[in-house]
Structures are given as C-alpha cells and as structure tokens.
Amino acid sequence: MGIIEICFIGLSLSMDAFAVSISKGLSFKNHYLGKAIIVGLYFGIFQALMPLIGYFFGSTFSSVIEKVDYWIAFIALTLLGINMIKESINSEEEEIGDRIDFKTMVVLSVATSIDALVVGVTFSFLKVPILLAASIIGVITFLLCVLGVILGNKLGEFLKNRASILGGMILILIGVKILLEHFLL
C-alpha cells in the first residue's frame, strides 16, 4: 500500500471527526479559530494513536491469519465504509454543543476514531509502515478538523452528512482494490 492509498484512508477515517468538527463550528459564536485548533489537535492525535494500537494488536496475530489477510482487509474496510454511509443517512440530529473541555473532547475523539483502530489491524496484515501511516492520518485529520470548524461556522448544515458518505465510499473502494490486487497479481 502506497502513500496515495494511505492518504485516501486518512481522508476517509477523518470524515466522522470532520462532521463533528462542522457541528462544533456551528455552535461556536466567536473566537472559533483557537477552538478549531484545539478540536483539530484532539481528533488528529486520536486518529494517529488508534492505528498504532490496532497495528500492534494485529501484528501479534498476523502469522496466524496471513493467508487470508486480504479478505480481512476487504471485509473490515467494506463494513466500516457501509457503516459510515448508513450512520450518516440514518443519523438523527444530535446536539454536539460548543464544549471543548477534556472529557467532552476525549469522548468525541474516541468515538470518531474506533474505525482507525480496525484499520490499524488491517495495516499490520498488509505490512504498512505504521509510523508513516499514523502520522499521515493524524495530520490529515488535524487539518480537516480545523477546516471543518471553520466551514461549520460559515456554511453550517449543508456539509455535515455528505462528508461521512464520501468517506464510507472511499473505504469501500480501497477494500475492493485490495481484494482485486490479490486476485489479479
């Protein structure tokens, strides 16, 4: 898996956090640039840490399931993508609020980065350079979340669900690509 694919996975993984960041931006009335950086840091750090944790968990079992790792990658990415799309279509409006205290941000950061944990497991099966991948995912998430707060403050409701749908579609396509590469190479 190359840097381009890792960047696309980073974009996909960050879509939940991006949608929450847009919601945060909706609720910030003033001084939102400093708050945007705080939101971006929380989400970026958690999106970078979760693949690391998943990678080390997955590498423990990689020798056992090496012969079917492409199926695991395909199934995990496809299910995550379908779930992202389903949740964004079926989601009821929930109030995210303007709070950026430690407890609130940790809960939101963990909730939006669970899928990155699963991707980290997949990375271990595919022998992806995890420090590079986690760094790329964290930076992309940080930048998109800062942008999300700013856009949320300016553009509002229009963007929120569309980001998660796009992210889900990208994860599904990458899963299909991994499966096809295995059978065609």
**Residues in Cβ contact with 95 at an 8 Å cutoff, skipping those fewer than 6 apart:** none
* Joined tokens for residue 58: 């997955």
Instruction: Say what the pTM is.
Output: 0.75
Whose CA is closest to 9, among 182, 169, 179? 169
Architecture in CATH of 3-184: Up-down Bundle (1.20)
pLDDT at 47: 96
Instruction: Quote the CA–CA distance of 43 and 48 in Å, as a whole number.
Output: 9
Yes or no: say if 47 and 136 are a contact pair by the CB < 8 Å rule. no
How is residue 154 written in tokens? 């300016």
Q: So what's the pLDDT on residue 132?
A: 97
pLDDT for the residue numbered 172: 81
Per-block mean pLDDT, blocks of 10 residues, the chain (185 long): 91 87 79 91 96 89 68 77 77 64 87 86 89 97 95 72 70 78 75
Q: Which pLDDT score is estimated for 77?
A: 73
Instruction: Compute CA distances 132 → 99, 143, 157, whole Å.
Output: 32, 17, 34
Residue 159 CA, distance from chain mean position: 17
Q: Give me the pLDDT at residue 167, please.
A: 65
Distance CA(43)–CA(19), nearest Å, equals 11
| Token pair listed for 70 | 């492409």
Query: What DSSP state is assigned to residue 181?
Result: H
